[in-house]
């Protein structure tokens, strides 16, 4: 139905993740999970898909002996997000 919409972004949870990351420098996995109210398993899968598409960077590191996963949007991700919003606006104007 919405053919022109980027299928990677046109999914509720992946779009939520991208919308969170577009406004910040970087965010922890736990922050994204809290704001999207998603389960850790589902969120991991969607984050991996965004990473495979090159839309986000994921860094794993240790902080105070605890593993920490940091996500940040890439320039390619910003372009894709802007293109997606543009197409959305066209649909709504029709």
Partner 1 sequence: MEESFSPQDSLRLIQSMIVKTRSSISEDRFYFLLWGWVSFAAIVTQFILKAIIGYPRHYLVWLVVIPAVIVTIIHSSRRGGNRSVSTYIGSSMASLWTGIGISFFILSLIVSRLPNGWLDAWPFFILFYGLGTYISGRILQFRPLVIGGMINWALAIASIYVAYDYQLLLAAAAILTSYIIPGHLLKRAAN
The minimum distance between CB 76 and partner 1, in angstroms, equals 18
Which segment (19-27, 41-49, 50-58) binds partner 1 by CB under 8 A? 19-27
**Cα dihedral 18, 24, 26, 28 sign:** negative
Dist CA 36 CA 38 (whole Å): 5
Dist CA 71 CA 94 (whole Å): 35
Q: Is 16 an interacting residue with respect to partner 1 (CB under 8 A)?
A: yes
Hey, what are 4's tokens? 């022109």
Contact footprint for partner 1 (CB under 8 A): 2, 5, 10-12, 15-16, 19-20, 22-28, 30-31, 34-36, 64, 84-85, 88, 91-92
């Amino acid at each position: 139905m919405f053919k022109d919409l980027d299928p990677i972004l046109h999914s509720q949870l992946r779009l939520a993740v991208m919308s969170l990351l577009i406004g910040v420098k970087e965010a922890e996995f736990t922050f994204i999970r809290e704001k999207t109210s998603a389960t850790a398993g589902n969120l991991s899968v969607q984050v991996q898909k965004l990473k495979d598409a090159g839309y986000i960077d994921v860094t794993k590191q240790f902080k105070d002996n605890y593993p920490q996963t940091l996500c940040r949007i890439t320039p390619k991700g910003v372009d894709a997000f802007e293109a997606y919003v543009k197409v959305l606006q066209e649909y709504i104007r029709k």
